[in-house]
Chain A
Amino acid sequence: QQPVQSPQAVILREGEDAVINCSSSKALYSVHWYRQKHGEAPVFLMILLKGGEQKGHDKISASFNEKKQQSSLYLTASQLSYSGTYFCGTEKQGAQKLVFGQGTRLTINP
């Protein structure tokens, strides 16, 4: 079952903060976050593992609430380069494959 992302779209001015949420109805082992720029392939940003370990990105952070099966991606002091569509991908224990959300389009204006 596809995780649900919210909001579907966000428009910010450069320097503002954004939060993107990802919710699943299934018990999760990990949550991956990817960013896709227009016309390009998705690129891995970050992973949140059950138990709290994460591999991060320099200027972007994330959290994983295991009780609620929710993850949030935090982009602070946004830059123009942050524009793109953000996808969460959820992984169940032992599955190795991901189920992706429908994406959140982030637009950063100068």
Chain B
Amino acid sequence: DAEITQSPRHKITETGRQVTLACHQTWNHNNMFWYRQDLGHGLRLIHYSYGVQDTNKGEVSDGYSVSRSNTEDLPLTLESAASSQTSVYFCASSDKRASSYNEQFFGPGTRLTVL
């Protein structure tokens, strides 16, 4: 069955370190998204991609970067981790070719703690 996975599921790191969160989907979806979830803020979009070599900034992109070298993967990099980036991170994918409703399928999430 097609799925979307994230790794690691839990990560503890120190301020200033570079961290990369992985997202891998086997839906063959063109669209991939990264969100962070914090209490009281819901899901906020960090970066998104509509296809290979395409990346775009979301509403809270400062301190984060992504690259899309293939359809399946969209890794999220925190260049220099800050305590304010402690959060739960969700990856999602969608594709209007698969469903005209373009619903998003979410990965299980990564809980990141920056000390």
Contacts and interface: CB of A to CB of B under 8 A. Distances in A.
Interface residues of B, number: 25
Interface in A15-61: 30, 32, 34, 40-44, 47, 49, 55
Contact of A103 (B33, B42, B106, B107): B42
Interface string B93-115: 01010000111111111000000
B48 A41 contact: no
Interface string B29-70: 001010100001111110010100000001100000000000
Contact of A41 (B42, B59, B109): B109
Interface of B: 31, 33, 35, 40-45, 48, 50, 58-59, 90, 94, 96, 101-109
Interface residues of A, number: 23
B48 A44 contact: no
Interface stretch (A63-71, A73-81, A93-101): A93-101
Contact of A55 (B90, B96, B101, B107): B101
Contacts of B44: 100
A102 interface: yes
A47 B90 contact: no
A49 B44 CA distance: 22
Contacts of B96: 96
B94 A96 contact: yes
Contact of B108 (A41, A87, A98): A41
B90 A44 contact: no
A6 interface: no
A49 B99 CA distance: 13
Interface centre among B50, B90, B104, B105 (most CB of A within 10 A): B104
A30 B104 CA distance: 13
Nearest to A97: B48
Given A47-B101, A55-B101, A96 B90 contact: no
A2 interface: yes
A15 to B, nearest CB: 28
A97 B106 contact: no
Nearest to B6: A41
Contacts of A30: 101-102
